[in-house]
Amino acid sequence: MASVRQVNIAIIGAGGVGKCFLSQLEQLAKRRPEPKLALVYISTSKKAIYNKDYASIGLDSAIASLASASEAPLAPSALADYLNGSSSKAIIVDNTSSQDVADAYPLFLSRGISVVTPNKKAFSGSYKLWQDIFQASAKSGARVFHESSVGAGLPVISTLKDLVETGDEVTKIEGVFSGTMSFLFNSFAPTSGSGGKWSAEVKKAKELGYTEPDPRDDLNGLDVARKLTILARLAGLEVESPTSFPVQSLIPKELESVASGDEFLEKLPAFDAQMEETKAGAEKEGKVVRFVGSIDVASKQVKVGLEKFDRSHPIAALKGSDNIISFYTKRYGSNPLIIQGAGAGGEVTAMGVTSDLLKVLSQLS
């Protein structure tokens, strides 16, 4: 079998994760000269750079070149045509959270172009899109990997796949799937000491960069619901969407429609009593409250929301903004397989993407 000499890389998205990935790709290309990793396309939502003759774009200068570019990004079908115009194998790295890009995965895969991505929307959107993605991959032989769509660089998806594919029976998955929620509750309801007021902790989390620009995008629980949807599907449940099971929002109803994140933070202190009551209720039982997601595979129950835990429980004892995911399976019995560590951040998210790229490279022939 002839070895693959060059692999063309197309990167969509050059924000925080995209920049970290580019840096890791540059190091990878130096460490592994074979096959040659040629960056032939890179785009943001507004601009793109590529050469019609597939000449490589310098990895060290790509971001600067992109900033001064005048070309518009190619539409998905045109990008697929461009990549298929070369005799080299191609991999698309989607570092966005774009639904439009996610919707194009079946097209890319059907054209023999592999995809690696942290984009949750591709795998937590409609169940039909999920089926279309994996059917297109199976038919063409092109690969699709999305480790960083849950838990950034933590080996959550690969572990679950290994459990399922080796015939273990996953009975339950439970954990803290949001770095934002982890930080908030570890500060608001610590295992020792009293913690701060809820609104003050939300404000502090935003100032430290742990929340989205509008904290409601974290507090509505949808980010966690998307991750649970992905894991439930991998465990064999046909979950239709992230809104098809109970998701507890921590946004007071009265503040759901305020105009901005700043106005939300300004008005949040008036609702501190609600969260204080929840915290006090847990303390009376000698417990702490945490925002968790759980999947009960046998009963097909998926839910996201507040739960109470003994102070000695691994979920209660988390520090900082760490994630923790527990897999309860037949083989592991009453002691779950636990994965814990940083579940957010550009470098660790990009690490998961780079790891997926290596998986694709190892399977190309």
User: Tens digit of pLDDT for each residue in 134-159?
Assistant: 999 999 999 999 999 999 889 999 99
CA dist 102 and 321 (Å) reads 28
* Average pLDDT score, the chain: 94
Annotation: binding site for NADP(+) = 13-18
pLDDT at 194 exceeding the cut of 90: no
CA dist., res. 173 & res. 152, Å (int): 17
Q: How far is CA 9 from the centre of its chain?
A: 21
Q: What is the pLDDT of residue 345?
A: 82
Radius of gyration of the CA atoms of the chain, in A: 22
Q: State residue 93's pLDDT score.
A: 98
- Residue 175 pLDDT > 50: yes
User: Is residue 228 predicted with pLDDT exceeding 80?
Assistant: yes
Helix (H) or strand (E) holding 342, with range, is: strand 337-342
- Distance CA(113)–CA(107), nearest Å, equals 9
pLDDT at 50 over 90: yes
Catalytic residue among 89, 121, 227, 308: 227
Q: Coil, strand, or helix at residue 193?
A: coil
Q: What is the pLDDT of residue 3?
A: 59
Q: Check residue 33 and give its pLDDT.
A: 86
List the single range of 108-117, 146-155, 206-215, 275-284 with lowest mean pLDDT. Answer: 206-215
Rounded mean pLDDT, 18-34:
93
Binding site as annotated, residues for NADPH: 96, 120
Contact 356, 147 (CB under 8 A): yes
**What are the tokens at 93?**
């790295």
> 71 pLDDT exceeds 80?
yes
Residue 51 in contact with residue 123, Cβ under 8 Å?
no
The end-to-end CA distance of the chain, in Å, is: 7
Residue type (1 letter), 46: K
Longest dimension (CA), the chain: 69
Q: Supply the pLDDT for residue 60.
A: 92
Token representation of residue 72: 């518009």
pTM reported for the whole predicted model: 0.93
**3-class DSSP string for 13-81:** CCCHHHHHHHHHHHHHHHHCCCCEEEEEEEECCCCEEECCCCCCCCCCCHHHHHHCCCCCCCCHHHHHH
Average pLDDT over residues 23-30: 95
- Per-residue confidence (pLDDT) for residue 365, from 0 to 100: 65
Residue 2 has pLDDT above 60, yes or no: no
Question: What's the pLDDT at 107?
Answer: 98
Does residue 253 carry a catalytic annotation? no
Give the pLDDT band of residue 344 (cuts 50, 70, 90): confident
What pLDDT shows up at residue 1?
Answer: 42
Binding site for L-homoserine: residue ranges? Answer: 212
